[in-house]
Amino acid sequence: MFEIAKQRLEPVFNHIDINEEVISRLSVPKRSIIANIPVRMDDGSLRVFTGYRVQYDDTRGPTKGGIRYHPKVNLDEVTSLSFWMTVKCAVAGLPFGGAKGGVTVNPKELSLLEVERLSRGYIRAFADVLGENRDVPAPDVYTNSTIMGWMADEYSVIARRQEPSIITGKPLHLNGSQGRECATGQGALFVLNEYARHRGWEVSQKTVAIQGFGNAGYHFARLAQTLGYRVVAVSDSQGAIYDPKGLNVKDVFRYKTENSELASVYCEGSVCNPLDYQTITNEELLTLDVDVLVLAAMENQITQLNADKIQAGTVLEIANGPVTPQADEVLESNGIAVIPDVLANSGGVTVSYFEWVQNKAGFYWEEKEVVEKLQKIMRREANLIFDLAQRYQCSLRTAAYIHGVERLAGAIDQRGNSKLFNSSK
């Protein structure tokens, strides 16, 4: 997976001249740490879980990246994600490098108390390499604000002082930020709206299908529907539902939360009434004839095996790495635009940056101010990337990587390179 991730850099070097030292620096992570985390289970037994933290590059500032709990977490995956975070923070213009962490575990098999012990154990295992000016974690797949609150609390116990800026994505009453919960979906919608403006779309005429109905997918769907987009399909890990007339996003999410399954419903008060809809598979959702296909689940969802079946006019990546490089080529040849993850899902890390700033300052903003600041950054960076794609006649992904790599290269070069030191002889 890491080798696939690095393939994203190859088209960049066809358009801009980058010093060889920059390429060398961005080809390998700065630091990779593996730790075994012992956890006392509710039945008294002891289990040992494997945890990871990869700090890819800190040239532009302390590293930043989420912690995920998933059975498939491994060093290769975490390294790839930390690479993407490095580029993403540069794309968004944030004073951060990239990192990522994770634990190989199925959290659905653990009790809440066991998840808490695991989360505190993760911080104990990695506390020596974390810090508000060193490496700042955040939530990711199957972690949330509650878990971040436990982790921040455990770090304060170890450090013997309150240091809320050590972790972002915390609950509001534990020094979290307004607007963080919906930031990833909100940021992605700001980017899509700019794309729609460039294309001259009438958004009320556009249909959207969303793979992944977790936090990011739900908030994107909710906000998009408010603006007039017609959300016709959503999915979770169990399957998908489809109604060409459109779904009631808030009601679908409420039903899923209460019943652990997807269904198209209309809710009034405490009563939810079923509506007509089709049950389809995740694979079928990917191939629906819609205007926008939103990928908000996991990596490698569109590959060279199914890329030719995609009918959407535009693909919006809210998940990290949901389209492989080989699939990118197929989609591009078929005239399908891909709004890349390093731009589209950077709203989450941007509001994490806001939380970090607020924690360090001890001064907190209202949600309206957070959203306004997020919109300003997402619109600015999206338009810069759209302009680069036009200038270089390249894909939006290549333009985004050009944008991020130029900022990384500037930071690396300005610390000194072979050209500088040879010129001083």
pLDDT at 394: 93
Average pLDDT over residues 274-300: 93
Residue 37 pLDDT more than 90? yes
The pLDDT tens digits for 234-272 are 999 889 999 999 999 999 999 898 888 898 888 888 788
Residue 100 known to be catalytic: yes
Q: For 205-243, what is each residue's pLDDT tens digit?
A: 999 999 999 889 999 999 999 999 999 999 998 899 999
CATH 3.40.50.10860 holds for 2-174: yes
The residue that leads in pLDDT, 275 or 104, is 104
Q: What is the pTM of this model?
A: 0.91
Predicted pLDDT at 268: 83
Partners of 99 in the beta sheet?
Answer: 55
Q: In what helix (H) or strand (E) does residue 207 lie, and over which residues does it extend?
A: strand 207-211
pLDDT digits (tens, 9 = 90+) for 96-121: 999 999 999 999 999 999 999 999 99
Mean pLDDT of 401-419: 87
* pLDDT at residue 359, rounded to an integer: 97
The predicted pLDDT at position 424 comes to 57
In this predicted model, what pLDDT tens digit does every residue of 87-96 receive, in sequence order? 999 999 999 9
- 73 three-state secondary structure: coil
pLDDT of residue 92: 96
Token code pair at residue 50? 């494997």
Q: Which of 100, 170, 206, 256 is catalytic?
A: 100
Q: How far apart are CA 136 and CA 64, in angstroms?
A: 5
Average pLDDT over residues 305-324: 95
DSSP state of 295: E
pLDDT in tens, 342-389: 999 999 999 999 999 999 999 999 999 999 999 999 999 999 999 999
List all residues 6 or more positions away from 3 whose beta carbon is below 8 Å from its beta carbon: none
Residue 312, token pair as written in the block? 């959407």
pLDDT at 54 over 90: yes
Nearest Cα to Cα of residue 351 among 177, 101, 103: 177
Query: Is the predicted pLDDT of residue 27 greater than 90, yes or no?
Result: no
Q: What is the pLDDT of residue 26?
A: 86
Please report which residue ranges of 102-237 form alpha helices under DSSP H: 112-126, 145-159, 183-199, 215-227
Percent of all residues in the chain with a pLDDT value above 70, rounded to a whole number: 99
pLDDT higher than 90, residue 307: yes
Asked whether 152 and 166 are in contact (CB, 8 A), the reply is yes
pLDDT digits over 337-349, tens only? 999 999 999 999 9
Position 425 scores a pLDDT of: 56
DSSP one-letter code for 302: B
| For the chain, domain boundaries | 2-174
CA neighbor of 295 nearest in space, from 321, 311, 319, 328: 319
Mean pLDDT of 23-48: 95
